[in-house]
Amino acid sequence: MKKWGFLLFLVLCLSFAFVNNESFFQDKVEVQRYEKNNNDQLDNRETSESFQKIEITKEMVFQGNLLLVNNEYPIHQESITSDVVNLFTHKELTKGYGLLDNEIKLSEDIAHKFSAMIAAAEKEGVRHFTINSGFRDFDEQNALYQEMGSDYALPAGHSEHNLGLSLDVGSTQMKMDEAPEGKWLEKNAWKYGFILRYPKDKTEVTGIQYEPWHIRYVGLPHSVIMEEKNFALEEYLEFLKEQKSISTTIYGEKYEISYYPITKDTTIQVPSNLRWEISGNNMDGVIVTVFPRTTHTTLKEARGSE
């Protein structure tokens, strides 16, 4: 009798913990639509004196961390990140992981963010990461396409690897779909601004088979919203176009995100007293993200010591 009573108590405790964890997460990530006012101000709680005007050109549609790149939407020359470096010659960027060869290139900024994520994984005992591929120029992509064919590679200009924001991550132990490194990335990458670009359940959306090794940087808060709503990048960008403007509260910090269709050079207003970023979607518009006064580079920082 005592044994059954103990088992019942244990089940109730586990159930309570699960519900609490679920509700805790939901309380920390909220997404809601809001209406911009007539002046297209991103936060109508502020006065007009708190805003500055920014000119948006058509070229900006093709720049930023949220660009959609696939068979339909190719990369423009201005889309390529300007800080691509050879990681083999920058040892300070490769602490905690290996390189498949000495020609792996990546955006320096993204390399710093990846290193921070790998350091977090190492603290959890997951430490056998490698980068197998990073940035490729159009010539390299074309050579790969000619060698591998359309079933395994995309034409030059249509691969995310031509951006500098994506990388193929491997494990020195086993294939990524079986490795602890692959499982850790799938569970945690979004906390650090990265997404698994081609998930197993989104092949019909992305048009690409499941790739547990291919991650892409989109940044916070976008990676968090995509995780919460189970969006592929295609779905997230369509969601922003439909909603026009959303606000999201993540661990008590409010972010505001607005989509603007751009057909010609135009002017929008952004807060002068808050940090903001503009990214094109590589299709027809730009996304403006306004950050809270206290910002975090990773979700873990926002959560503190949890």
- Any residues with CB less than 8 A from the CB of 68 and at least 6 apart, and which? 233, 234, 237, 281, 282, 283
Q: What are phi and psi of 175, to 5 degrees?
A: -65, 150
Which fold would CATH assign to domain 27-66+231-306?
Phosphorylase Kinase; domain 1 (3.30.200)
Asked if domains 27-66+231-306 and 79-217 share a fold, the reply is no
Model pTM score: 0.84
Residue 238 bears catalytic tag: no
Distance CA 133, CA 130 (A): 9
- Any residues with CB less than 8 A from the CB of 92 and at least 6 apart, and which? none
Position 18 scores a pLDDT of 35
Find the Cα–Cα–Cα–Cα dihedral 52, 80, 169, 143, rounded to 10°: 170
Q: What are phi and psi of 245, to 5 degrees?
A: -140, 135
Position 304 scores a pLDDT of 57
Is the separation of the CB atoms in 132 and 169 below 8 Å?
A: yes
Spot the catalytic one: 186, 211, 253, 301. Answer: 211
Is the separation of the CB atoms in 104 and 131 below 8 Å?
A: yes
User: What residues of the chain score a pLDDT lower than 50?
Assistant: 1-4, 6-27, 38-48, 305-306
Position 300 scores a pLDDT of 66
Q: What are phi and psi of 234, to 5 degrees?
A: -55, -45
Write the class of the CATH domain 79-217. Answer: alpha beta
- Any residues with CB less than 8 A from the CB of 156 and at least 6 apart, and which? 138, 139, 141, 142, 145, 162
**Ranges of each domain in the chain:** 27-66+231-306, 79-217
Position 13 scores a pLDDT of 45
For residue range 74-123, list pLDDT tens digits in order: 999 999 999 999 999 999 999 999 999 999 999 999 999 999 999 999 99
